[in-house]
Amino acid sequence: MGMGVLLNIMIRFRHIPLILAAALLPTALQADPLPPWQDYHIAMWQKHPRPALQALQSIGVDAATVYAKSGEVDVAHLRDVQRAGDRFYLENLATDIFSPYHMASSSAYFAEIRALHATEPGDMHVFERQPSLADKDVLMRLWQRLGKVVASMKTTPPLFYNLADEAGVAETGWAWDYDISPPALAYFRRWVQIQYPSLEALNAQWGSKFASWDDVTPMLTDPALRQSDGNYSGWGDFKQWTDDMFAAALQVGTEALHHADPNAISAIEGAQIPGWGGYDFTRLARAVDLMEIYEYGHNIEIARAINPNLIVITTSFNATAEEHHRLWHEVLLGARGHVIWDENNDFATDNGTLGASAQANAATYRALRGGIPTQFIASQPMPAEVAILASMPSYRIEWLLARRGEKTNWALRNIDDDYAETPWRRALDRAASGLAHLGVPATYLSPEMLAGGVPETIRLLILPKTMALSDREADAIHAFLRRGGAVVADGVPGAYDGHLRLRKNPALQDVAAQIANGDFLQFADPQNVADKLSPVLERAGVAPAFSLTTPDGKAVRNVTARLWRNGAVTLIGLERDLVGVGKDAAVATGPERLVVSLAVPASVSELQTHVALGGGQRFTLSLDPVVPSVLTLSPGKVPTISVDKATQSFGDIVVSVSTAGNPAVAPALHVDVLDAAGQVLGMRNLVLHNGAAEDRFAAPDGAAKLRIVDVLSGAISERPL
């Protein structure tokens, strides 16, 4: 495969899928749609023997990590996992490529590089990534490695193939000027030729005097900080290309896996906050099939808005009430599972006794595997009439301007500094949180999506601290205003263009009077933003589907809501806010009584308790401080799913179910496998499609009967095996 072919593939990554397989094998199979991820999975990250894994199944743990560092699969552990009856995923297939600076020895090396740049700023070798993500030999090695691993997994495919843990262009989300190695510069020069119609156009934008494309070099952070004319185009394009390069290299891994197995699921773990290190989720969300994400900065919501098919899982670290609140919160955002970080090795002993952490998490894990998250997985987010622009160019220019005049060298900043709240992050958070407190669904647009025009379904567009707008984005907003759309922004957007060059006048200055003042996105308390947004929504014609009040009629602003739909059934997930912020955040004390007033009458029930609240428009419920209440709204009573078959044959359990007249197009069913004494040995969930479903799975030792719960109706039946 030639360098030109690979670079062209990578450059075009944002516009069409990679066809790297065609470059290697013209007769490559076309990938079928990825299989649906229909259940909520809980996986154990640390290595445990078979007895421990089997014991953990009783609390809902149904999967395990199998290490495959640099493509070398731990076959012995894989066999243990399979004998235990667990699913598995392969871990760290290409950490050496995508996470080289997070490895123990390399992390120290990266610290040395940062210190060296502070003392020897003229040494440019510190900005040459090792290995370069633009090096064709590195990417070919990746392709061949992944193909070999997938070939070895043909008979026992994993849940997913994790390319890397804690991936990043540099060390995770650190700001750094990677990469100016020779292969990277060659790729960058090809990339800018796609962005600009001519070298003259690039010189005019950058204010540069390059004589040929081969002379083009990006502006790094140090000279950008010294720039005095407000033109940071060379730096802005370099940072945009960096994110494109990272996403494109991951996409090479994804295409390698799909080429070897059309149903393979590619993944990265430890996804960071939107910011540096390649974490532009408007690009990253399309690079892999699955992400394990640390939920910060609304990254889950942004990623799933950009790619609704993205599978998101998270991580569980401890057994506190706050941790359990977070896991449920992420379910309401669309998480489809989580990985357990058993750092102290106290979930289970080697002989199969449950440890303290397992017992402390048992109730929550069983509930998460109990069918309600599966019902969310089988549903779709409620369509939004409000869109929020996630403008990474605006984040970048804000970051650069904030560094000017700082006493601390930017290269020596702590990673926590770049995780801190900034005006851009604050505005985006206030907008998203305010809408969630009103129960108003929102979606996110990337700059490229906005440049293509605001979707016809959108009535209100929110521009959080949008300092940068391209001409096409500005034109799309003008067109949106002309058709009657409403816009809210903190300040006049578009002081800089899309390449980060200061404009003579902000891009939307001529329509500033038509833009609602969103200064409250910076200064209001998060819970009060809902009050500020309410009149804006009303003027835009966006009406919430319900309202929340206290029994004495006061508006409730400490509860967020996420809305999903499944056929004619609406799911509303209501969760209490934590009290306090940051490390001081804690769950509230005791339940809270709420009155739910619907805009349209419906038959309502509460999934956790299976309590029917009746039909009408006004209902009262008690909201737990940790576990959300999930309400179902349907036109009438939901019919019960019938169990057609529940048998054990040749060591496998076979379950067949059906239903008729269900208003949900994909209702869920929970199955507990019990021993003769009624103790849970394992569990799984089914989703019905076209009114029926069948599942076959290995029977745990001692299986005697099944307890089957209809998630939507709450009906329970037991069947002997």
How far is Cα 423 from Cα 611, in angstroms, rounded to an integer?
A: 44
Mean pLDDT is lowest, of 400-414, 426-440, 459-473, for: 400-414
Distance from C-alpha of 347 to C-alpha of 356, rounded to nearest angstrom: 6
Query: Could you tell me what percentage of the chain is helix, strand and coil, using 3-state DSSP and rounding each to the nearest 5?
Result: 35, 25, 40
Structural tokens at position 282: 């408007």
In CATH, what number does 642-720 get?
A: 2.60.40.1930
What is the H or E stretch that residue 530 is in?
A: helix 529-540
CB 563 within 8 A of CB 570: yes
Per-residue pLDDT band for 325 (boundaries 50, 70, 90) equals: very high
**pTM score, two decimals?**
0.94
Give the Cα separation of 72 and 51 in Å (integer). 24
Query: CA 36 to CA 693: how far, in whole Å?
Result: 14
Confidence of residue 698 (pLDDT cuts 50, 70, 90): confident
Collapsing DSSP to helix, strand or coil, 669 comes out as: strand
Residues in the chain: 721
Q: Which two tokens stand for residue 501?
A: 């060059």
Confidence tier at 486 by pLDDT (50, 70, 90) = very high
pLDDT over 80 at 14, yes or no: no
What percent of the chain lies above the pLDDT cut of 90?
83
Mean predicted confidence (pLDDT) in 485-505: 97
Of 212 and 109, more confident:
212
Query: Parallel, antiparallel, or unpaired for β 311-316 and 337-340?
Result: parallel
What totals of helices (H) and strands (E) does the chain contain, helices first?
Answer: 22, 27
Q: What is the mean pLDDT of the chain?
A: 92
Q: pLDDT band for position 584 (50/70/90)?
A: confident
Matching CATH topology for 546-634 and 642-720? Answer: yes
**R_g over Cα of the chain:** 26
Q: How many CA atoms lie within 13 A of 680 on its CB side?
A: 22
Does pLDDT of 216 surpass 80? yes
Instruction: Pull the structure tokens for residue 57.
Output: 């199944």
Q: How high is the pLDDT of residue 497?
A: 98
* Neighbour order of strands in the sheet with 486-489: 442-445, 386-389, 460-463, 486-489, 515-517
* Nearest alpha-carbon partner for 520 in 489, 558, 561: 489
Q: What's the pLDDT at 15? A: 34
The count of C-alpha atoms lying within 13 angstroms of the C-alpha of 529, restricted to the half-sphere facing its C-beta, is 29
Three-point CA angle 26, 30, 33, nearest 5°: 165
Evaluate if residue 701 carries a pLDDT over 60: yes
Structure tokens at 332: 């309401």
Which of 94 and 662 is assigned the larger pLDDT? Answer: 94
Distance CA 712, CA 144 (A): 46
- Give the pLDDT score at 34: 40
Amino acid at 494: G
Nearest one of 237, 227, 177 to 205, comparing CA atoms? 237
As a whole number, mean pLDDT of residues 302-307 equals 97
Q: Which residues pair with 671 in a beta bridge?
A: 684, 708
Tell me what pLDDT residue 104 has: 67
Question: Does 473 have pLDDT greater than 90?
Answer: yes
pLDDT at 23: 30
**What CATH code is assigned to 386-540?**
3.40.50.880
Residue 384: CA count within 13 A, CB half-sphere: 22
Residues in contact with 674: Cβ distance below 8 Å, sequence separation at least 6, in sequence order: 680, 681, 703, 704, 705, 706, 707, 718
For 515-546, what is each residue's pLDDT tens digit?
999 999 999 888 899 999 999 999 999 999 99
Check the CA dihedral 365-369-370-371 and report its sign: positive
Please check whether residue 86 is in contact with residue 55, taking contact to mean a CB–CB distance below 8 angstroms: no
> Regarding beta strands 337-340 and 41-44, do their DSSP bridges make them parallel or antiparallel, or are they unpaired?
parallel
CATH level 3 topology of 546-634: Immunoglobulin-like (2.60.40)
Helix, strand or coil, per DSSP, at residue 66: strand
**What's residue 26's pLDDT?**
28
Give domain limits for the chain. Answer: 3-380, 386-540, 546-634, 642-720
Predicted confidence band at 99 (pLDDT cuts at 50, 70, 90)? very high
Tell me the three state secondary structure of residue 603. strand
Alpha carbon distance 633, 637 (integer Å):
10
- The per-residue pLDDT for range 621-653, each reduced to its tens digit, is 999 999 999 999 999 888 888 889 889 887 899
Asked whether residue 36 carries a pLDDT value surpassing 90, the answer given is no
Fold observed for domain 3-380: TIM Barrel (3.20.20)
Average pLDDT over residues 545-553: 96
Amino acid at 359: Q
How large is the angle between the packed helices 233-260 and 3-11, nearest 10 degrees?
A: 110
Provide the pLDDT for residue 105. Answer: 67
Say yes or no to pLDDT of 20 above 80: no
**Token pair for 86:** 């667990």
pLDDT tens for residues 329-349?
Answer: 999 999 999 999 999 999 999
